[in-house]
Amino acid sequence: MMSAKIFVDGQWMTPVNGATLDMVAPSTGEKIGTIARGTAEDIDRAVNAARRAFEGPWGQTAAVDRGRLLSKLAQKILEHEDELTALEALDTGKALKLARNDIRAVARYFEFYGGAADKLHGDTIPFLSGYQVMILREPRGVTGHIIPWNYPAQMFGRTLGPALAAGNAAVLKPAEEACLSCIRLTELAAEVGFPDGVINLVPGIGEEAGAALSSHPDIDLISFTGSPEVGVLIQKAAAENHVPCVLELGGKSPQIVFADADHSKAIESIVSALVQNTGQTCSAGSRVLIERSIYDQFMAQLTRRFKQLRAGPHDMDLDCGPLISKVQQERVMGFLDRAKADGIEIAAQGQVDAAASAEGFFVPPTLYRIVPREHELALDEVFGPVLAAIPFDDEADAIRLANGTDFGLIAGVWTDSGARQMRLAKAIRAGQVYINGYGAGGGIELPFGGFKKSGHGREKGFEALREFTVAKTVVFNHG
């Protein structure tokens, strides 16, 4: 694999300054490879290549042909499912079954957007007599993509699928903590025949390659997934050039359980939506809000289930893996230490398997009982396998609590009452609301994105195609 290179204008090349970064396996702390450490000059070369591609034949490619290329890539990914699964698991530390799911998802992104490419229609508008107006949906042009380390392969498909289907040429800056699958996927994309310059990949660190991409004057749209803090930096940099941004910035998503819900079903979903990817999921259901009348009974059941959770290296395929890095492990342990100092009671903890390496970045899955509403565990994104339980009094209180953080990404509502389901779906300020279910990570067809500090703009589904295109109004005065 071309791991220490950048991919620009259809060529794998050494970054201008020749610098590299070491990649470490989260399960063991061992070095597993090197990647290129691209800088502003490399980003500039990539943006120029994308611009040439967009202004060249790619800009004239029929939608059906773009769609076919994406579909071919989907097929190619499935042919390499085992290899990509092993690579993703090693690089991120996630359990093999989850990595496999991610690889199927990236194939599904290209399948979905391959099929959608020629189904994106413009509009006509009734206007004055003697006129005809049509709205064309045109690609933005050159799109910049900055993605995180938690789902590198899935993010590759989520962000590039709609951008390429819509006819843009792209520059992708993957995360420095994990990006081996993105490098391999780029190789596969080149093999299926995407023209030179349509997909450019510049690995590197955020403050260098990422900052250069977000501040580049010749980008037409930035799509970013990551932390709210970096989201602000990206928006500010892009604003200097009046470049629009689609931002997905995480959450503190609630699972809301009413007394009349199916408890067993809710518990399975709550646990899996939290521990999936070891809590390192923007849409992790990291707060469980429980109606007070059933609080003790529900917590007893949840506690029993939580105690069964096991964390271990990716190849043991357990409930949780390690966190991505030492830095993240220390961040999450900081939450646990402060909760202890603040006297917040742990209701249950899973186990880190005895076979797990002491050099791996493990944290035991932890459930907290009755977290005070103003505590950081109730308000801040932990990005680890940590669940905060909070009782509520009635429906109005549940809605207040659900909406009571800076975030608004997704929510799960567990109740049998149809009217209450509808009231909560309308009252909750989040980009996705699930009724008697929860969709962390899934649903390629389903528009996804935030309210408030969870970001703005929408990914997935047809909404993403709208983001990666722009409306042009053409007015004919035919008399």
Shortest approach of ligand ADP to residue 307 CB, angstroms? 29
Neighbours of 20 (CB within 10 A): 17
182 is catalytic: no
Stretch that binds ligand ADP, among 116-124, 203-211, 271-279, 426-434 (CB under 6 A): 203-211
Q: Token pair for residue 343?
A: 């006297």
Residue 214 interacts with ligand ADP (CB under 6 A)? yes
DSSP string of 265-322, one letter each residue: HHHHHHHHHHHGGGG--TT---EEEEEGGGHHHHHHHHHHHHHT-EE--GGG--SB--
Q: What part of residues 436-475 is at the interface with ligand ADP (CB under 6 A)? A: none
Residue nearest to ligand ADP (CB): 206
Nearer to ligand ADP, 103 or 211 (CB): 211
Nearer to ligand ADP, 226 or 461 (CB): 226
Shortest approach of ligand ADP to residue 180 CB, angstroms? 14
Q: Which of 88, 111, 208, 248 is catalytic?
A: 248
Stretch that binds ligand ADP, among 90-98, 180-188, 207-215, 315-323 (CB under 6 A): 207-215
Stretch that binds ligand ADP, among 120-128, 208-216, 309-317, 410-418 (CB under 6 A): 208-216
Q: Quick one: which of 206, 254, 391, 455 contacts ligand ADP (CB under 6 A)?
A: 206
Shortest approach of ligand ADP to residue 350 CB, angstroms? 23
Cα dist from 438 to 205, 267, 269, 270, 384, whole Å: 33, 11, 7, 8, 18
Name every residue whose Cβ is closer than 8 Å to that of residue 24 and which is 6 or more positions away in sequence.
30, 31, 32, 325
Residue 203 interacts with ligand ADP (CB under 6 A)? no
Question: Which residue is associated with the tokens 């357990």?
Answer: 318
Q: Which of 179, 182, 245, 282 is catalytic?
A: 282
Q: What part of residues 230-249 is at the interface with ligand ADP (CB under 6 A)? A: 230, 233-234
Over the window 412 to 431, marking each residue x when it contacts ligand ADP by CB under 6 A and - when it does not, the resulting string is --------------------
Q: How far is the C-alpha of 186 from the C-alpha of 155, rounded, in Å?
A: 13
For 62-89, letters b (16+ CB in 10 Å) and e give eeeebbbbbbbbbebbbebeeebbbbbb
Q: Quick one: which of 74, 146, 410, 424 contacts ligand ADP (CB under 6 A)?
A: 146
For 365-386, letters b (16+ CB in 10 Å) and e give bbbbbebeeebbbbbebbbbbb
The answer to whether 371 and 390 are in contact (CB under 8 A) is yes
Shortest approach of ligand ADP to residue 201 CB, angstroms? 12
Stretch that binds ligand ADP, among 12-20, 143-151, 264-272, 283-291 (CB under 6 A): 143-151
Length of the chain counted residue by residue: 479
The answer to whether 131 and 479 are in contact (CB under 8 A) is no
Residue 198 interacts with ligand ADP (CB under 6 A)? no
Task: Please provide residue 279's backbone torsions phi and psi, each rounded to the nearest 5 degrees.
Answer: 75, 0
Query: How would you list the strands of the sheet with 287-291, edge to edge?
Result: 346-349, 366-368, 386-392, 287-291, 254-257, 410-414, 432-435
Residue 148 interacts with ligand ADP (CB under 6 A)? yes
Q: Quick one: which of 41, 207, 260, 337 contacts ligand ADP (CB under 6 A)?
A: 207
320 is catalytic: no
Residue 43 interacts with ligand ADP (CB under 6 A)? no
Nearer to ligand ADP, 233 or 261 (CB): 233
Residue 161 interacts with ligand ADP (CB under 6 A)? no
Q: Quick one: which of 20, 61, 227, 403 contacts ligand ADP (CB under 6 A)?
A: 227
Nearer to ligand ADP, 258 or 383 (CB): 383
Helix (H, G, I), strand (E, B) or coil at 56: coil
The answer to whether 208 and 43 are in contact (CB under 8 A) is no
Q: What is the Cβ-side half-sphere exposure of residue 143, based on CA atoms within 13 angstroms?
A: 30
Shortest approach of ligand ADP to residue 383 CB, angstroms? 7
Over the window 165 to 184, marking each residue x when it contacts ligand ADP by CB under 6 A and - when it does not, the resulting string is --------x-xx--------
Shortest approach of ligand ADP to residue 380 CB, angstroms? 13
Shortest approach of ligand ADP to residue 409 CB, angstroms? 14
The answer to whether 69 and 398 are in contact (CB under 8 A) is no
Nearer to ligand ADP, 212 or 302 (CB): 212
CA-based nearest residue to 237, from 43, 391, 62: 43
Query: Total number of residues binding ligand ADP (CB under 6 A)?
Result: 17
DSSP string of 102-168, one letter each residue: HHHHHHHHHHHHHHHGGG---EEE--STTEEEEEEEEE-SEEEEE--SSSHHHHHHHHHHHHHHTT-
Residue 210 interacts with ligand ADP (CB under 6 A)? yes
Residues of this chain that bind ligand ADP (CB under 6 A): 146-148, 173, 175-176, 205-207, 210-211, 214, 226-227, 230, 233-234
* Residues taking part in catalysis: 248, 282
